[in-house]
Amino acid sequence: MIITDFLEKNARLFPNETALVEVNPSDEVDNAKTWREFNLIESITGLPYRREITWQKFDKAANRFANLLLSRGVKKGDKVAILLMNCIEWLPIYFGILKTGALAVPMNFRYTSDEIDYCLNLAEVSVLVFGPEFTERMNPIVGSLDNIRHYFFVGNNAPSYADSYETMTSYCSEEPPAVQIDDDDNAAIYFSSGTTGFPKAILHGHQALVSSCRTEQNHHGQQHDDVFLCIPPLYHTGAKMHWFGSLLSGSKAVLLRGVKPQWILDVAAQEKASIVWLLVPWAQDILDAIDSGALKLENYDLSYWRLMHIGAQPVPPSLIKRWKQYFPHHQYDTNYGLSESIGPGCVHLGVENIHKVGAIGKAGYLWETKIVDESGEEVTKGEVGELIVKGPGVMKCYFNNKEATDEVLKGDWLFTGDMAKEDEDGFIYLVDRKKDVIISGGENIYPVQIEDFLRANDKIKDAAVIGLPHDRLGEIAAAIIEIKEGMTATEEEIDAFCKELPRYKRPRKIIFADIPRNPTGKIEKPVLRSIYCGSRLVEAQTTK
């Protein structure tokens, strides 16, 4: 079975039921007082507030795009890139690519022109689908993209070098293309997040996509009447593979284009969302807005919401304890994964294990895990080592990069680069990225442990710990701290708070500044190192 079979099955079983909803909130929508004002929002923002598509229309849209690609000479094994913000066209385009036997290549919407150029060439892309948000970034590089044979534009006013997606697909057949695809065929190329260097191209097959569907539904029990609120970007394996649970159950999903706390609760209430996947900063913002009185829970009917889960980064236990105070009826879960392991689920906490908040869990459905030392031997429980995983979602390789592939794939095992330890009950706790470990005076310092500790402070919104060069100790731990809006803190206060830490773990430098995170919520530590690890550290303001 291949991933497109699930879409076709849903189109047969639930042809007229809603598959996808796109919601485009805006300040204008928030301020609208009458239906007349509300209906004028599209003319103000350029986007309708809400669009939806049924399973049958979803499948037919995918077929039309597949047939368009085939008519342009796209064949099995070709690569077709998607450079779009989340929208209702995104997934039909993705499935249309897969139906041709070509490989879908989702692109990060934050890429600069140079990064777009680099990734398109690295993946040997021959067709690009992009939206109006990217025209200015595409214009300077179009002349140098010799491999690109066709451009399709999703939106109005297509540039001269691109064809209109909507116009061209309207002439195409809605019948499924007659292309034989097997589960061991290549299906997609995803790019690594780039938090540890320039992106690498990750090759996955159809078997990996199907396995992620089964893992996701096993973990979160999606039923046909569930509604999944999806906020993170679809180019990332995390969002899409969590949505795969909705695909397997034929249930509705809502794509929310915006992350303001009010918008998240508004749409969760309006669409009767039962499952919401958040990133740590968004959950933090919701709690802060409730704490401040900016959001009042009595204004929202959230009775359908049964599961809140978080992934893509370590989750501070203090955050979940605060969440449960406001939402005691919510199930909570966290999933760990990498794009190299087809996204979330290779390690899974489980809703029944909330007493282990802070752990990432145990091996997920269809997965195996080990924690090993530098020689690849398993460490004893409680010792720190590198987490390695094995399962049907492990990537085939880094495309066109054998050296990088050999570094992380050893037999069937994927070496994650994450340092972890296992407790007496078999639950795994992330300690840090292998490359982020700070070695200070011969002691290993794991930044995630200090970050979790700092975030328990009532004044701290976010924290990131990096190593700074030091003549005597080699490195010292520096804490970049983002204070909650409307609050102040001093270096002396933070130093006093950190007295509960062992002396060698206490940050030697406190810097008050904003914490940069990528679209999937991961701290961009290379950015912080580039700012603060130069030959001369600029003294940062110590109050906010």
CATH number at residue 66: 3.40.50.12780
| Element holding 481 (H helix, E strand) | strand 474-483
Tell me if 94 is assigned to some domain.
yes
Could you tell me the CA-to-CA distances from 488 to 90, 370, 450, 478, 494 in Å, in that order? 43, 43, 20, 19, 11
Q: Looking at the structure, do residues 179 and 90 belong to the same domain, yes or no?
A: yes
Closest by CA position to 259, among listed 520, 47, 544, 484: 520
Tell me if 223 is assigned to some domain.
no
Give the residue carrying structure tokens 């010292």: 476
Residues 6+ apart with CB under 8 A from 328: none
Q: Looking at the structure, do residues 444 and 407 belong to the same domain, yes or no?
A: no
Tell me if 297 is assigned to some domain.
no
Q: In tens digits, what is the pLDDT along the chain, a chain of 544 residues? A: 899 999 999 999 999 999 999 999 887 655 544 434 444 445 444 567 899 999 999 999 999 999 999 999 999 999 999 999 999 999 999 999 999 999 999 998 888 898 899 999 999 999 999 999 999 999 999 988 989 999 999 999 999 999 999 999 999 999 999 999 999 999 999 998 654 456 899 999 999 999 999 999 999 999 999 999 999 889 988 888 999 999 999 999 999 998 899 999 999 999 999 999 998 778 988 999 999 999 999 999 999 999 999 876 667 788 898 999 999 999 999 988 888 999 888 999 999 998 898 899 999 999 999 999 989 999 999 998 999 999 999 999 999 999 999 999 999 999 998 889 999 999 999 876 667 778 776 567 778 778 888 988 989 998 999 888 876 666 788 999 999 888 899 999 999 999 888 787 889 999 999 988 876 667 887 788 888 875 333 333 332 2
Q: Looking at the structure, do residues 464 and 369 belong to the same domain, yes or no?
A: no
For the chain, how are helix, strand and coil distributed in percent, rounded to 5?
Answer: 35, 25, 40
Give the residue carrying structure tokens 């939806």: 52
Report the C-alpha gap between 3 and 205 in whole angstroms: 10
Closest by CA position to 102, among listed 8, 32, 179: 179
Q: What is the structure's pLDDT at 36?
A: 43
Q: Looking at the structure, do residues 202 and 84 belong to the same domain, yes or no?
A: yes
What CATH code is carried by the domain that includes residue 343?
Answer: 2.30.38.10
Q: What is the structure's pLDDT at 34?
A: 44
Length in residues, the chain: 544
309 is written with which tokens?
Answer: 């889960």
Report the C-alpha gap between 306 and 430 in whole angstroms: 26
Q: Looking at the structure, do residues 428 and 476 belong to the same domain, yes or no?
A: no
State how beta strands 127-130 and 79-83 pair.
parallel
**E strand map for 114-230:** 127-130, 150-153, 163-164, 186-191, 201-205, 227-230
Residue 203 pairs in a beta bridge with 189, 397
Tell me if 475 is assigned to some domain.
yes
Last-in-domain residue among 210, 241, 276: 210
Q: Looking at the structure, do residues 479 and 413 belong to the same domain, yes or no?
A: no
Q: Looking at the structure, do residues 40 and 167 belong to the same domain, yes or no?
A: yes
Q: What is the structure's pLDDT at 1?
A: 83
190 is written with which tokens?
Answer: 């995803």
Tell me if 163 is assigned to some domain.
yes
Tell me if 146 is assigned to some domain.
yes
Last-in-domain residue among 210, 238, 257: 210
Q: Looking at the structure, do residues 70 and 205 belong to the same domain, yes or no?
A: yes
Q: Looking at the structure, do residues 335 and 446 belong to the same domain, yes or no?
A: no
Q: Looking at the structure, do residues 423 and 465 belong to the same domain, yes or no?
A: no
Residues of the domain holding 460 = 439-532
The pTM of the full predicted model, rounded to 2 decimals, is: 0.82
Q: Decide: residue 358, CB within 10 A, 0-12 exposed, 13-18 middle, 19+ buried.
A: middle
Closest by CA position to 79, among listed 234, 204, 213, 207: 204
Q: Looking at the structure, do residues 348 and 474 belong to the same domain, yes or no?
A: no
Tell me if 289 is assigned to some domain.
no
Last-in-domain residue among 383, 398, 433: 433
Q: How many separate domains does the chain show?
A: 3
Tell me if 115 is assigned to some domain.
yes
Q: Looking at the structure, do residues 159 and 65 belong to the same domain, yes or no?
A: yes
Contact by Cβ (8 Å): 304, 273: yes
Contact by Cβ (8 Å): 49, 79: no
Report the C-alpha gap between 361 and 156 in whole angstroms: 46
